[in-house]
Every structure is written in structure tokens, then in C-alpha cells.
A = this chain, B = another copy of it.
Amino acid sequence: MRIAVDAMGGDFAPQNIVAGAADALRSNGKITKLFLVGDTTRVEAELKKLNFSDPRLQVVHASEVIAMDDPPVQSVRRKKDSSMCRAIELVKQGEADAIVSAGNTGALLTAAHLKLRTLAGVERPGLACIIPAPENIFVLMDVGANLEPSPGILVQYAVMGSLYSKQILGYQNPRVGVFSIGTEEMKGNELTLEAYRRIKQTDLNFIGNVDGHDLFSNVADVIVTDAFVGNAVLKACESSLRVMGRWLKDELRKNPLRMLGALLAKGAFKALRRKADPDEYGGAVLLGINGICIKAHGASSAKAVKSAIRIATEFVESHFNDRIVEEIKRSNAKLQQIPIAQPTV
């Protein structure tokens, strides 16, 4: 399979991106072609530093870069020769099967949506990420694409997120929930109440509302929500873990006895860091567009880029988008038979 990598996107580009792509080529025999799209001089300098060459690798020149703080829509329109847009074009033209970028999230979502378009039957694409919990790994969707979705869009997220859990994560019958502020059916806002009513009528393994307190309690394998809430929840979790790590570190350094204790127990801290390491999970996936699009996080290390490329190959390999088209068609047909709820006071 053929992967287009935006070599200039991210806080540590092109260095980490090129290094991650090289690692991916070294370890992943399924890649038949990898495009590194960006400033040829800089990309080749990185390759030289790594002393890396591979016949499957092709550097594609792009003269512009969409910066992390560029306004998404304008930058996609204006920077036609940006590494991100060029990489997406490779997918559009059928030269690559997937695009991987650690660049500006808004620009990537906009460019992928505009250039690749949505899959048949899909109303809006959504950004899905996976979150590790003690007893399961769950898909949270949407975490960035659609700030004010309709209930129907949340139903489609449930269908696509469920496929993610099944096809990529290997859950046989993923439990799907609507993120809300209480588990009871009547708890929620207008969006979640109506989404609940509709998802209940699909063939999905729907378990109802998921309360924020139960995020990590193995109650659902797929949790759907709007992008505002999804993004808020994801970042709140990340911030909490970071602040707790920092607090713990400060406390452990306060006296020699604690420092000795920390030294003896360091294996535990390492294991914990590994469990919560976002680099293992390779970033978020934009589901519902006509192509595979992986958003690695902005501060991606080489390892994170390599993971993102691995995820891309897994999506390509499972013919993921064909499955989305089938399942969305089935779900749309089923829901068309169900009347829209009248608003209640």
C-alpha cells in the first residue's frame, strides 16, 4: 500500500516526520510506496542525516507549508503548493491510499473534506481517536471535525466508530454509547437526547448514555459526541494526566527518602508512562471521507509518526471505507423508516 506523508506538518517537522517515515519503512513490509511531501532540500537533508534510503521512498516537492496557526480555510485555499495539500492530492489522484499529517488540524480536516469529499451516504466526516483504559480501548468520536452536528450525524459517527472498533481494534461486538451528563435516558441536551433515540433503533450494540465518570470504566468501546465536547473531554483527560504527573514528580523530589523510593519504583512509573503514551496510538483518524486520512498530533515524535503510518496501513488493508459505505447505507435505510421525533417541552 501507498502512503503520502506530509513531511512539513507538525511542531518538529521535517525532522521527526522523516525519521518516523524511515522507521515505518524499515519495519513495515506492507508499504509498497511512501511519498515524503515537502521542501525537497530539507527533506533530503534529513534523510542524509539518517543515512537512509529505500527504493519505496519518493520525495515529492512542495514549496509551501501550512503553519500550525494558519487559519484553516484560507490557508487551504491559498497555499495550493503546500506539503499538506500536495499530499492529499496524491490520494485524490489515486497515487496514494492514505495521507498522514501532523500539521494544522483544522487545515487538514478542511483540505481532506474539500479535496477527497465524503463517502457515499456519509453526511459529514468526523475525527475519531482511541483512548486506552484499564480494561478496554475505546473510540471517542468526534474530537475535532464538527462542532454543531445534527443527531443524524451522531448516528453515523456511531456506525463508523463501531466499525473502527471492530475492524481495527478487533472488538467483536463493540458497545456504543452517547456521551452525556448522566447515564439515564432522559439525561442530556437536545442533541444527545435525539441521538440516543435514533441510535437505539439501529442494529448497533447500543448501551445508552456514558457519563464522564464512567469514561474509563469499560462501559463502552465507542463513545459519540460533538466535536466541541469530544475535544474538551480529550484535552481535559490529557491535562489531568499531565498535571498529576508533574505534581507527583515534584513531591517525589522533596526529600532523599522519597527520591530513593522513586528510584526503586521507577519501573512502575515507566510502565504507567507507556500505558498513557499517545505516541503508541498514532493519532486520530478522519472517518467518512473518500480516502484514509490520519492526523498525528502536532508534537509528534518519530515514534508517533511511525505509529500513525502503521494505523494508515491497517485502515487501507481492511478496506475500511468500503465497509463504511455498506454500513452507512444499511443504517440510513433503516433510519429512514423511523419518524423524526416531535420536539417536547
Contacts and interface: CB of A to CB of B under 8 A. Distances in A.
Interface of A: 69, 71, 133-134, 144, 147-148, 179, 181, 184, 186, 188-190, 211-217, 227-229, 231-244, 246-248, 250-252, 254-255, 257-258, 260-269, 271-272, 275-276
Given A134-B246, A211-B235, A268 B251 contact: yes
A97 B266 CA distance: 52
Nearest to A227: B181
Contacts of A264: 257-258, 260-261, 264
Given A144-B181, A244-B272, A260-B264, A212 B229 contact: no
Contacts of A258: 264-265, 267-268
Contact of A236 (B189, B233, B272): B233
> How many copies of this chain does one complex carry?
2
B240 A213 contact: no
Contact of A212 (B234, B244, B246): B234
Given A147-B189, A261-B265, A262-B265, A247 B231 contact: no
Which are the 8 A-B pairs with shortest beta-carbon distances? A212-B235, A261-B265, A261-B264, A251-B268, A240-B240, A236-B236, A216-B243, A181-B231
9 contacts: A181-B231, A188-B228, A212-B236, A215-B236, A216-B239, A247-B272, A248-B272, A258-B265, A261-B265
B189 A213 contact: no
B276 A244 contact: yes
Contacts of A188: 147, 228
A243 to B, nearest CB: 4
Given A179-B232, A216-B239, 20 more contacts: A133-B243, A147-B188, A148-B189, A212-B238, A213-B235, A214-B239, A215-B236, A215-B239, A228-B229, A229-B232, A236-B236, A237-B237, A244-B272, A248-B269, A258-B265, A258-B267, A260-B261, A261-B262, A261-B264, A262-B265
